[in-house]
Chains A and B, each alone.
Chain A
Amino acid sequence: QKEVEQNSGPLSVPEGAIASLNCTYSDRGSQSFFWYRQYSGKSPELIMFIYSNGDKEDGRFTAQLNKASQYVSLLIRDSQPSDSATYLCAVNMSGGATNKLIFGTGTLLAVQP
């Protein structure tokens, strides 16, 4: 079992729709959760992070965390073609000396105009 699992996609949504990206993790000690967006050949760009159960909203993005079920999701409202990218889920066990991120393989999102 992978430590962080994501559906590789591609996830195809029409422009203006809600894109829902999901991620599950295996380590119950994970405390911090991150969503990065990566365009081809570019750096992973941090778009959301969440530490507590529930929802966190930032503009068109909402991160949802459910520690009991060990999943974290990212909702993108009013999807735009420019949102087409690979979305990486990452978790870490903060509070200790190590701060390494454990990544999923990423979900490719394609927003159709």
Chain B
Amino acid sequence: EAGVTQFPSHSVIEKGQTVTLRCDPISGHDNLYWYRRVMGKEIKFLLHFVKESKQDESGMPNNRFLAERTGGTYSTLKVQPAELEDSGVYFCASSQNINQPQHFGDGTRLSIL
């Protein structure tokens, strides 16, 4: 069974540009989560999808971040325009249902110059 897949693994962009991260959850997992780890800090929750619906987006930093999960399969996280403080590792996780443990992808390392 394939795990959670994230693309790209690394992205380097300039301040003010737009970047889109993609996450493919484990097949059959309705729950999809985005997290972020900035330098020296703990991994922090961004938002939670149940199928295509946003269940909890309390961790989204500001309106420069837009997450979508059209069709309830893969998800994208777009940052527009990117700022220096957005640098970090963005993780995606999925679970079959809300009571099951979450399984993580390898993350996308985002560097804003």
Contacts and interface: CB of A to CB of B under 8 A. Distances in A.
Q: A34, A45, A46, A99 — which one has the most chain B CB atoms within 10 A of its CB? A: A99
Interface residues of B, number: 27
A101 B42 contact: no
Contacts of B103: 46
Contacts of B35: 101, 103
A34 to B, nearest CB: 6
B95 A105 contact: no
Interface in A92-113: 94, 97-106
A99 B48 contact: yes
> How many of chain A's residues touch chain B, expressed as a range?
20 to 34
Interface stretch (B13-21, B52-60, B70-78, B80-88): B52-60
Contacts of A90: 43
A99 B42 contact: no
Interface of A: 2, 4, 34, 36, 41-46, 49, 88, 90, 94, 97-106
A46 B94 CA distance: 12
Nearest to B59: A100
Interface in B18-50: 31, 33, 35, 41-45, 48
B87 to A, nearest CB: 16
A4 B4 contact: no
A2 B42 CA distance: 10
Name the residue among B43, B45, B105 with the largest chain A CB count within 10 angstroms.
B43
